[in-house]
Chain A
Amino acid sequence: MAEPARARLAAFEVTLRRATRIRWPASGVYGPEDRVAFDPGITDLIDLRYAPSRRSLGREPVHENLLIELAQPLSGSVPSLLRIHRVLYRAGTDRLTYQSTQVVGTLTLVEATPDRYVIDAGLSLINPEIDLEHRGTYPLAGRVAVPR
């Protein structure tokens, strides 16, 4: 599993999925074989992804995916703390090895320009539902630029 690093979120690819929410299973938790699904929503979803190609590694790469469902649309936000509605973090290779839906920390919008939003994240994923490699609490922090 990739080593946690204080600023490693900066290496993630970021996509803003407007008016989108995670479709949550009735059981409350995705299983390791489940594919994440989405629905139209009233707020925005920030999709952060670290997915190196195996062509650069020479082996099965570890991918990480952090989905942050905001409590309010990003377009209406001014620089301030952002409220998180829900998160889903998943990591693994051809098998899912870590999943958490609980997070502590802050998400701060520090800049909003016509091109992008700049967000500082200092998050720790806690109480993982899936933790095959006994990683436990997993910090994810860094400054990310979200294209509008």
Chain B
Amino acid sequence: MALEFRGSIGRSPASSPNTEASVTPGKSTLVGQLDTASSFAAAPVARKAEAAPGGTRAHLGNLAEGSHPGIQRGGPGKRRIGHIVGGKFIRDTGATPAPAPSSPPAATRHEGARAYVGTPSVADRTISDGSIAIRLKNETDEQAEAVATAISMASMVLDRAIGRLGDPTSPKVATALTKNFHSTQTAVVDRVRSTLQSIRSAFNATIAIEIEGADRNDARGFVPYEISGDVVIYGDIHLCPPWFADPDPIARLRTIIHECSHKFAGTDDVAYHWEGHYELLTPDDAVENADSYAWFCLEAF
């Protein structure tokens, strides 16, 4: 079964020459065919690429979670308790909440370019479509459904954006590059492609998502971050109440790409898209900026 989604980015361009499309990213209609439902329905439980004991981990390179040979797979407390059918999360009969894992001591270890630090795995549910696995904490069924849908859509949008970069001179791609990275030079295109591929490759493993409570209202999402010596340490992606409250599926998938770019490509928040400074970013700054990737993916779609 294919799930079609449509969304509107921004507002319609106004007719006034002073209010042309550049005021907004332009009215864009995003139409995609997702095989989310069937693929998730047929999925076995994700047993791949789950984090080693140490629920917070980090990397300095382009490795997705689980891609490092040193990662132990199948952490405690992760088992299939349901699946997605027709865009709905269905809890398996007899599934009960996973018992809380015992509390082994916090662990820190460094393996090559990656580091892992923290307390045991936070996952209490893993859902998978066989190609994308999502590990969740603190979620309701409705939230699990929303996350699964957004991540499937983000995966498809990333695939499309990477594909579109095969022809960076096409008007749509060149425009999206110019608006978000302020350059169409080969070096910039290569960097954008490489970063998007890093993000996309993370979707081949397990995406760990933690759901925040009502006290976290300042952002749609965030990735906790710390520096330990020379090692950058990223936590799981956290999604906050404003993300779930946003009725726009495009905005939700944009947040997924934004946060994944922090976690899997080490981007910064140099300027958000809504800032006047966004258009003044140099290409060097823009390729380090999370929102540049999120908006590029949608505008190149």
What are the 3 closest A-B residue pairs judged by CB atoms, nearest first? A93-B219, A26-B14, A60-B222
Given contacts A26-B16, A31-B24, A58-B224, A37 and B279 within 8 Å (CB-CB):
yes
Partner of A58, one of B10, B11, B225, B290: B225
Q: Please tell me if the beta carbons of A25 and B218 are within 8 angstroms of each other in the complex.
A: no
**Which B residues touch A59, using CB under 8 A?**
219, 222-225
Contacting residues, chain B, for A10 (C-beta < 8 A): none
CB-CB under 8 A from A88, the residues of chain B are 276
- B23, A37: Cβ atoms closer than 8 Å: yes
Q: What residues of chain A have their CB less than 8 Å away from a CB belonging to chain B?
A: 1, 15, 22-27, 30-39, 47, 49, 51, 53-55, 57-63, 65, 67, 88, 90, 92-97, 132-133
> A residues within 8 A CB of B269?
51, 53-54, 60-61, 63, 93-94
Name the residue of chain A whose CB is nearest to the CB of B226. Answer: A58
Nearest A residue (CB) for B294: A94
Smallest distance from the beta carbon of B279 to chain A beta carbons, Å? Answer: 7
Q: Bound state CA distance, A95 and B242, in angstroms?
A: 9
* B25 and A35 within 8 A (CB): yes
**Quick one: which of B217-275 are within 8 Å of A by CB?**
217-227, 242, 251, 255, 258, 262, 268-275
Which residues of A have CB within 8 Å of B15? 26
Choose from B14, B219, B242, B279 the contact partner of A25 (Cβ within 8 Å): B14
Residues of B within 8 A of A49 (CB): 275-277
B272: chain A residues at CB < 8 Å are: 63, 92-94, 96
- Contact assessment for A36 and B255 in the assembled complex, using a CB-CB cutoff below 8 Å: no
How distant is the Cα of A23 from the Cα of B255 in the complex, in angstroms?
A: 27
| Residue contact B276 to A34, C-beta cutoff 8 Å | no
List the B residue with the shortest CB-CB distance to A65.
Answer: B275
C-alpha spacing A88/B217, complex, angstroms:
23
Q: Are A35 and B221 in contact, CB atoms less than 8 angstroms apart?
A: no
For A15, what are the chain B residues with a Cβ–Cβ distance below 8 Å? 280
Determine which of A27, A35, A47, A57 lies in contact with B273 in the assembled complex, contact meaning CB atoms within 8 Å: A35
Q: A51-B271, A63-B272, A94-B255 are contacts. A34–B16 as well, Cβ < 8 Å?
A: no
> Given A26-B16, A33-B251, A37-B22, A55–B268 Cβ distance below 8 Å?
yes
Taking CB atoms, residues of chain B closer than 8 Å to A55 are 225, 227, 268
Give every chain A residue within 8 A of B140 (Cβ-Cβ): none
Give the docked Cα–Cα distance between A37 and B219 (Å): 24
Q: Which residues of A contact B255 (CB under 8 A)?
A: 94
Extra contacts besides A35-B279, A60-B269, A94-B221 (18): CB < 8 Å: A27-B11, A27-B14, A27-B19, A33-B9, A33-B24, A33-B25, A33-B251, A35-B23, A37-B279, A60-B218, A60-B219, A88-B276, A93-B220, A94-B219, A94-B220, A94-B255, A94-B290, A95-B219
